[in-house]
Amino acid sequence: MALFTELVYELAEYLIRESTHFVTMSAPSQSVPGVFADIFRGHSGGITTPNAFFYDRNVVILIDENSESRPEFAIMSLRNGENVTVMGTNSIGANGDFVTLNLPGDIGLLFTGLGVYTPQGEQTQRIGLSPDIYVHRTISGVAEGRDELMEAAIQFLLEAAEN
């Protein structure tokens, strides 16, 4: 958990100049069934760590259908950087903490206990996060053993460095 916290908050200090709102979380109301109330407004960025500096070069974050939960939360935080681009395909949309309900017959049921929203109030669960630039794998790329997402990211960074 400590490494995850460092990624979301401490790494963001190097990529985001000012503290920026990146997530709103809601939870079920204990007093009004069916109502969700905002309980957390997450902010990241802004240099607070001694000797930290702003990284002014381009950064690419790769995302696909295997990006779920904590990686989605980290992407929500880090994508606010002015030089950060998210590439790939939509994430799975399974962020937010989970609750375990043990049922008879040694059956465990997991479900999300919190709502996770963008700063604009848009849903992330079930929908996933969208990349800034879509890059899809192709049948020929898979057959050739190529990582087309990594290739696209490298090409993007090389072209950005030329400009």
Q: Domain holding 105: CATH number?
A: 3.90.226.10
What string of pLDDT tens digits covers the 163 residues of the chain? 566 667 788 889 999 999 999 999 999 888 998 888 999 999 999 988 777 788 999 999 999 999 988 899 999 999 999 999 999 999 999 887 778 889 999 999 888 788 999 999 999 988 999 999 999 999 999 999 999 999 999 999 999 999 8
Which class for 125: exposed (0-12), middle (13-18), buried (19 or more C-beta within 10 A)? Answer: middle
- In a domain, residue 163? The reply is no
- In a domain, residue 156? The reply is no
| Dihedral sign (CA 121, 122, 128, 133) | negative
Which range marks the domain in which residue 63 is found? 2-135
- In a domain, residue 160? The reply is no
- In a domain, residue 86? The reply is yes
3-state secondary structure of 117: strand
The amino acid at 153: A
Q: How many domains does the chain have?
A: 1
And the tokens for 58?
């381009």
Alpha-carbon distance 3 to 80, whole Å? 20
- In a domain, residue 93? The reply is yes
- In a domain, residue 149? The reply is no
